[in-house]
Amino acid sequence: MAGHLWRTAWHRHSRFQMAVVGLGVGAMLGGVYWASWEGLTLVHRVPFIGPLIIERLVYLLTLVVFCLLVMSQALVSLSACLRSPESGALVATPSPPASVFLCKTSEATVVAGWATAVLLVPVLCAYARVAGWSLSSLVTATALVLPYLAIAGAVGAVGMLSVVRAVPRQRTLVMWGLAAAALRGVYLLGRPLWEGRTSTGTLTQFLHELLPSAGWAMSPWWPSQWLAQAWLSLTHHRPGEALFHAGLLVANALFAGWLVWVVGHYLFRGTYLVFQDHAGPVTWWSRRLARVARGCWRVVDGLLAWVPQPARALVLKDLRLFWREPLQWGQGLIFFGILGLYFANMQRMGYDLAFAPGWKQLVTGLNVMATLLTLGSLVVRFAYPQMSLELRCAWLWGATPVSTRRMLLTKFWVHGSLACAVTEGLVVLSNQALGLPAAMQACAVVMVGWASFALAALALGLGACFPDVRESDPAKLVSSFGGTLALVVTLAYVGVMTACVVVPWYGLAAPRLLTAQAGLSMGGEPWLVAGWAAPAAAVGVAGVASLAVGGVPLWVGARRLTQGDVR
C-alpha cells in the first residue's frame, strides 16, 4: 500500500516539486536540530543548574505544545466535522454518529498533529544527544508522542463540539469572544511596560523568576507532564518510572478515544444540525448586534474614504471576508499574541541587561526571526490561495472594468499594510523591552517593514503565477507546487533577513562589545564595527533581497494575469 501510494505520488506530482519539498523539509528539520542542539548545549553548560533548567524547559515545552495542539485541533475539527461536505454526506447515511465523529476526529488529529510530530523529532534528537540517550530510548520517546497527540486531539475535538452545541449564534459570539480575548491580550502585553517593571539582570533573579513559573507545568493533571516525565525518566535511567508514565499516556489516549465515541454518540448529530442552521434564532440582542456590526462597517468605510474607488470596495470586501473567518485571524492572534507576551516580559527576565556581550543583539535577531517566520507561515497559508479563490469569481472580475492586475495590487497593499502594522508593533515592543540603541532599532524596524511587504508580495505573486480555479479548498491550494515554493522561499528569505540583523550587530560586534564591557573601550559605539559600513551593507542586502523576493513574483504574477486566460 505504501509502495502504491509512493508510486502514485511520484507519478502525479512533478519530480521537481518533490525535490523542492524534500530539500525544503530536510533543510528545515536540519535547522531545527541545529538550533535545538546549540540552545540545549548552551543551557546545559550553566554551572550547577543547567540540567535543572533543561528539565523545566521540557515541562514548559510539552505543556505549551499541548495547549497549541488543543487549540489547533479545535479549529481543524470544526472544519473537518461540521463544515466539510463529506460530513454532511455521512450524517445523511445510517452510519452511527459516534463512528462519524470518531473518524473525522482522527482525520483532524492527523492533520493538526503531523507537523508537530515531525518538528518534535529533531528537537528530541538534540535532547537525546545532550541527555546521552540510547537509540532505543530515543525511539521510545518518539513513539510516546503519538498518544500525547491523540489526547490533545480528543480534548480539542470534544471541546469544540461542546462549545458549538452550547452557543446558538456561534460565529458572532466566537468572534466577539476572540475580540475580547485580543483586548485582554493587549492589556497583558502592555502592563509590564506601563508599570515599568524591570529586573536586576542577575542570573539568580532570572532563575528565581523562571523556576517557579515552570512549577505549574509540572502538575500531574497535565497530559504534557506525563510525556515530560517519561522523557526525563529515560534521562535519569529510571525505566520503571518511564514505563509507568508511558502506560499513563497510552491508557488515557484510549480513554480519550472512548470519550470521543461517547460524546459523538450523544452530541454530534444534534450539533451538526444546529451548525447548519446558519441564521439561528433571531432575538432582540442578535438584531442589536447586527445593527452594531453594520455601524462598525460604516465607520470603517468612512476611515477608508481617502482610498479611491473601486480600490476601496476591494479593500472593504477583503476586510469583511477576513473578519468573518475567525480561523484566519484567530491563528494570527494566538501566535502573534504569544510573541507579544514574550517580548513584553523580556524585562522581567533581565534580557534588557546583558548577560553576555552581544546578548541583546542576538536576542533581537532571534525575535525578528520568530516574528517573520510566524508572519511568513500565516501569509503563505492565507494569502497564497487568495488569487485562485478570487479567479473562481472570474465571471465577476472578467466582466467588470476592474482588472485582475488591479485586484492583485490592491490585495498586496492590504496584506502588506496589515502585516506591517502587526510586525512593526512587535519589533518596536521587542526593541523597547531590550533597550537597544536608536540606530539598531531603526534598522530593525526598516528591515521588518520591508520584509512584511515582501512576504505579502511573494505569497500573492506566486498565487497569481500558479492559480488553480478548480480547487476550492485553501489548504489544498497551499500544498500545491506554488504554495510549497512560497514556503521554501519564505524560509530562505527569513534566514537572510535574520542574518542581516544578527551579523553586523552581533557577529561582528561581539568582540568589541566584550572589550567595551571589560572597560577597554576602543572608542566610538561598540556595536559599530568599522563605522557604519556593516549595518549599512546589511540594510542594503536586506533591501535587495526584499525587492527580489517580493517584487519579482508580484511583477510576474501581474503579467500573467494580464496576459493569460482564465479557464
If one asks whether residue 394 binds another protein (CB under 8 A), the answer comes out as yes
- Report how far residue 512's alpha carbon sits from residue 361's, in angstroms, rounded to the nearest whole number: 13
The Cα–Cα gap between 521 and 523 comes to 5
- Conformation bin of residue 169: beta by default, left when phi > 0, alpha when psi is -120 to 50: beta
Q: Judged by CB, which is closer to another protein: 310, or 495? A: 310
Q: Which of residues 308 and 523 has its CB atom nearest to another protein in the complex? A: 308
In the complex, the smallest distance separating the C-beta of residue 231 from another protein, rounded to whole angstroms, is 44
* Bond preceding residue 401 cis, omega within 30 of 0: no
Report the C-alpha dihedral over residues 126, 129, 132, 137, rounded to 10 degrees. 60
Burial class (CB in 10 A: 0-12, 13-18, 19+), 227: buried
Question: CA 203 from chain center: how many Å?
Answer: 30
The yes or no reply on residue 299 touching another protein (CB under 8 A) is: no
| Cβ distance to another protein smaller for residue 48 or 395 | 395
85 binds another protein (CB under 8 A): no
Closest contact distance (angstroms) between CB of 312 and another protein is 7
Residue 278 in contact with another protein, rule: CB under 8 A: yes
567 binds another protein (CB under 8 A): yes
Q: What does the block give as the cell for 540? A: 542594503
Residue 45 sits in the site that holds another protein (CB under 8 A) = no
What does DSSP assign to residue 349? G
Q: Does 167 bind another protein (CB under 8 A)?
A: no
Q: Apex CA 389: angle with CA 277 and CA 311, to 5°?
A: 100
The CA-CA-CA angle for residues 493, 496, 498, to 5°, reads 110
Name residues whose C-beta falls within 8 Å of residue 253's C-beta, 6 or more positions apart in sequence.
146, 147, 148, 150, 151, 154
Contact flag: residue 86 with another protein (CB under 8 A)? no
Among 324, 521, 531, 547, binds another protein (CB under 8 A): 324
Q: How far is the CB of 269 from another protein (least distance, A)?
A: 20
Which one, 314 or 349, has the nearer CB to another protein?
314
When the beta carbons of 121 and 394 are compared against another protein, the nearer one is 394
Residue 402 CB, shortest distance to another protein, in Å, is: 5
CB of 331 to another protein, least distance (A): 17
Pick the binder of another protein from 118, 290, 292, 475 (CB under 8 A).
290
What the block records as the C-alpha cell of 176 is 466577539
- 8 A C-beta contact, residue 471 and residue 388: yes
Position among 9, 118, 251, 393 found at the interface with another protein (CB under 8 A): 393
Residues contacting another protein: total by CB under 8 A:
27
- Contacting another protein within 303-322 (CB under 8 A): 309-310, 312-313, 316-317, 320-321
Neighbouring C-beta atoms of residue 92, cutoff 10 Å:
8
Q: Which x/- pattern over 403-442 shows residues binding another protein (rule: CB under 8 A)?
A: x---------------------------------------
Instruction: Say whether residue 325 binds another protein (CB under 8 A).
Output: yes
CA distance 339 to 307: 32
Q: Where on the chain is the footprint of another protein (CB under 8 A)?
A: 278-279, 290, 309-310, 312-313, 316-317, 320-321, 324-325, 392-396, 398-403, 565-567
